[in-house]
Structure formats: C-alpha cells, structure tokens
Structure 1
C-alpha cells in the first residue's frame, strides 16, 4: 500500500512527493491525460474528484493519509460502479509565452526571477501585477505572484475577464498586503458611510486628537473630530448588521475586515474555517473564528480566504457576465461601492494584458 505524509488536493499541503504518489495511483485507476510530475493542478484535482464519484456522494477533491479515498486508490479491485476517469487535457488556456518564460534575460526583480521555483501554471504574470498594483512593484507583487497563480488553479478560475476583475478588486482593497480594516475614521466620513443606517455616531466619534496625536483642522478651519475605531466598528458591524453573524458584544471589531479582500463578520470567518478544515485531521485544523488575526499574520491565509470569499459569494459569475461592470463586481465586496474610480482604473490597466476589453463603468 502506498502512503502519503500530508493532504493532497483542494486546500491540501500538496507536497510534490505526495502528489506524485497520488498521480501514480490515479493512473493505475484509469486516469487519462494525467502526468506523474508532482505538480498539483487542475488535472490532478479533476482526477481525484472523478475517482471519488465512484464511492462518495459529495466528492471533495481531497486525499488525506489514512482516509477512505487513499484506501480506495490502493484497492486493485475498483468499485462495481467504476468507470474510466476521463480528464480533459489542458483545461486552462494560458496566455502567450513571454520572453522571460522562453530563455529571456534574467534581471533582478523580473518576472522570470519572481516565478522561479513555482509549480503552478503562470496564468498571471508579474507584468500584470505591476499594471494593476504599481505600488507593489519589486516587492509585494513578486511575493503575491505565486499565491495568486496557486489559488487560481485551486479555485479553478481561468476566465480572463474574471481574473482582471479579481486582480483589480484585490489590488484596491489591499495592494496585495495582508491587513486589517482601518479604524482611523473621521467623524464626517463615518457619518456619511453609516449615519443614515445607524443614526447618531457622535458618542464613538468625539475625539479632537487624531490617531497620530495631533489636532487637525479642515479647509474651513474647523477642528476635525475622530472616531474610536473599536467603538465605531462595534456599532456598524454589530447585531443590527444583518448577515454578518456578529451576535456578541465586541464582535464588530473582533471580526472586522482582514485579508486581501476584507473578510468581515463572524459568519464569514466561520464559513472559511469550515472550508479550510474540511477533510483535515484534528492536528492539521485551524480555528479562524477563535484566531481571526491569522488572516493578517499569514500571507497564505490572507490570499486563500479572499479567493474563498470570491467563490463563496459567487462573485465570479458576475465578473464573467457579458454585462459585467466594475460597479456590479464591487457591490458584493463593498456594498457602498467606495473607491469606485480606483477600482475602475486598476481594471483598465490590467485588462489589455489579459486580452480583455477596457470598460467605462
């Protein structure tokens, strides 16, 4: 019996040695068009799910040590319901070969340098990230590249229009840096954003001292008042905010937005936790409701939670539609469509590099 040390498949560790073992077992079970190369990608995921359909009602695309899928893969006698595993070749169209992918000059900070050692097909290039997020050139974009290509594969995102929208939204929200929602709101801004919904916010926004410890005056020479971020977010993301699942005192601030596309609210943290822990052994599980700052301290979780939020809220469908607009894609992420002009500008920067038409709205 062939064994693996860690999980292989959707959301798994995907160590190349373990992946090779699973690919070999899948070949023995009849998987076609599947190479034994130790690279976890869409073909391997599809092969796992196709194989699981023979004995699982809900295939999850995960092979764990000591679990049923690995046991069945090692079974030389397939289930009576078994059928050939038909895996379509080349499911993800790749962009044209770039000079740096075909023996081009290697330069410090170049795309060739950034992608060295990556095991995922490069749908997104460093050129695209530099276009959509110029603030992260030579630093954040290089680090982000491998994560973005990894999760494009794992979440089976290949439509170029969807990718352009995803990159634009993510770059606007975080500039590809793991971070928590800002809390240094001016009273005037908080009132504009939430005053109509939550009424008087003055109790949470009455400090004459800015977060930097200074008094600030507006263009009319009026003293600017600042909000206590924790108090403010406990009001606007509290029990009155439907759909977030914040049902205890202090949940609004505790489950404020974090990650690359700000995951907000206890319910969304719980959804991601359920997804992440599905099929994992007890020792490999993580508890994001208990430790929400994991989406800030870990670049991996910041990206993975954002891709999950995108998928779980069906934003990709809106982004792929012929009638897609930046405003429509923004709505599930930011209901008030704040920062629209910047999101639009970023989309139009990266769209041509993905062969997608620029838009006016």
Structure 2
C-alpha cells in the first residue's frame, strides 16, 4: 500500500503519506480535474491540499459527499492511481524518497534520468526496485557515508583490507555502500576514478554522481535486474544486504515507487 493511513481533512496525515498524495495530485491528468497551481510536496497538510483532494473527489471520483480525505483502501486513492501520469518525475521522486531533503533529491533527479538506462535499469519494475534499495540504504539520499568509523573492518581480509588503516579509509560510501580496499580498487579500475590515491576515497561520498554510479555498478555486478524482473524484493534485498535487514522499510519504498511508475 502506497500510503499507510488517511490523508486530508481529519486524517492521520503522516508526513510520508501526505507527500505521496501531494505528488499524486500534481501528476493527476485524467478527466476535468485541474489544479490552479501545483502543490508543494512537503508533507504538510493544509487548506490547499485538502481543497485539491475535495476537487478531485467532485470532478473525478464521483462520490456523493466529498470528505476531503484519502483512505488507503478507498475509492479516491484508486482513482488517483489510475489517473497519475506514470514515470519518474521530480514530484514522484520527492514522494518516493519521502524522508529526504528536496535540495538533495533535486540533485539526484537528473543523475537518475541520465544514468539508469546505462545499466539497463530501463523498465518501471527495475527502476522501482533500484529506488527502493537506494532509498532504504541511504535514507532517501540523506547518507552517502557509513556513520560508524570503519574501524571494525580493520584487518578484514575478505574485504582486502591488508594495510593498517584500511578499515577507516575504505569504510562504506555511496548510496549502496562500497566497502573495503578490494571493492574500492575494483570500482576505481572500472570507473577510471583515482580512488586509491589517499584522500580520494571520500569522493564517493561527497560527489552525488559517484555515490549514484557506484550503486549502479554494484547493481549491475550483482545482476539485480534479473531479481527485479521477477519482482523479488527478498532476493534483491539479500544480494544488497546479505540478509533481510529493513525489509519492511524497503517494501514501503517499493510500494511508493510502484504507485508512480507502474500501471
């Protein structure tokens, strides 16, 4: 379900759910419904959002007594889903990455537009699964560097950490995190970015284009499109996480993405 609780007049109005409805109203193009001006996708319920819901109910939902509220299993949400312009738009991305800052999300939107197809993430289902994973892993693009110091990776030969200080130096970075000397070296060779020069490893976290590309590279390396094509959230999650940590949160991201991307 793309929203978990009611949105609108006397609704629960969780910030995440409100963002979904605001974005959907902006993207609704069916029937005679027309907003005078687009809503700000900020998760704050107010008169403009409630008025837009009521207008939709009057013009397109055809319910006898519009109540200005969208329920998770109600007719208004069903109508919205059917009439939303499908595809990855700035409004849709703001709703999918509901925990993120608009200024950061706006930086990633053109990068996604220009780079997803380079890795054959070129179907609505593939895009939805990719966004679900990077959304959870980075908390909606908020984090591109592991919060822990990385000291626990010191001497981890499985990660190729053979030199003193490698744990901290090659800690997790990226939307889907690149971790360990071996992985940094492999990606550096692939991308031709000199990440092995001391001090350059932080570029993966500091540069949005690199933070995204390393995640796309990982996605391609792990052949995750094949799992996405089967709509296998558990399978995708296991290959990203090595387990199922945060599975429900990943599912929530996926549900929001599917609402805006899939028919």
1:351 Cα deviation from its structure 2 partner: 0.9
Secondary structure of the 1:170 match is: helix
* Structure 1 residue corresponding to 2:92, chosen from 120, 128, 131: 128
The structure whose RCO (Cα within 8 Å, separation 6+) is larger is 2
Q: Deviations over 1:42-66 (max 9, x none)?
A: xxxxxxxxxxxxxxxxxxxxxxxxx
Residue of structure 2 in register with 1:44 after alignment = none
The structure in which a higher percent of residues are helix is: 2
Paired residues in the alignment total 186
In structure 2, runs of 5+ residues without a counterpart are 1-26, 30-34, 42-85
CA distance in 2, matches of 1:344, 1:259: 21
Measured in 2, the distance between the counterparts of 1:170 and 1:259 equals: 9
State TM-score, norm by structure 1: 0.47
**Distance in 2 of aligned mates of 1:106 and 1:258:** 39
Q: 2:194 aligns with which of 261, 281, 287?
A: 287
Higher alpha-carbon Rg: 1
After superposition, the C-alpha distances for 1:300-331 in whole angstroms (9 at most, x for unaligned) are 1111111111112211221112xx32221011
| Residue 234 of structure 1: aligned partner | 154
| Counterpart among 230, 254, 258 of residue 351 in structure 1 | 258
Q: What residue is the counterpart of 2:232 in the other structure?
A: 325
Q: TM-score, normalised by structure 2?
A: 0.63
Contact 1:178 1:295 (C-alpha < 8 Å) held by counterparts: no
Asked whether the 8 Å contact 2:150–2:170 carries over to 1, the reply is no
User: Which deviations, in whole Å up to 9, do the C-alpha atoms of 1:117-144 show, x marking residues without a partner?
Assistant: xxxxx95212321232112253222221
Q: How does 1:166-181 map to 2 (within 5 A)?
A: 166-174=130-138, 175-177=140-142, 179-181=144-146
Question: Equivalences for 1:45-56 in 2 at 5 Å?
Answer: none
Aligned CA distance change for structure 1 residues 316 and 289 (closer, same or farther; 3 Å): farther
Point out where structure 1 has 5 or more consecutive residues left out of the alignment: 1-97, 111-121, 184-228, 278-285, 357-361
Label 1:162 to 1:231 Cα distance change in 2 as closer, same or farther (>3 A): same
Runs of 4+ in 1 over 3 A off after TM superposition: 104-110
Please list, as runs of the form range in 1=range in 2, the aligned pairs for 1:1-361 lying within 5 A after superposition.
123-136=87-100, 138-174=102-138, 175-177=140-142, 179-183=144-148, 229-234=149-154, 238-239=156-157, 242=158, 244-277=159-192, 286-290=193-197, 291-321=200-230, 324-355=231-262
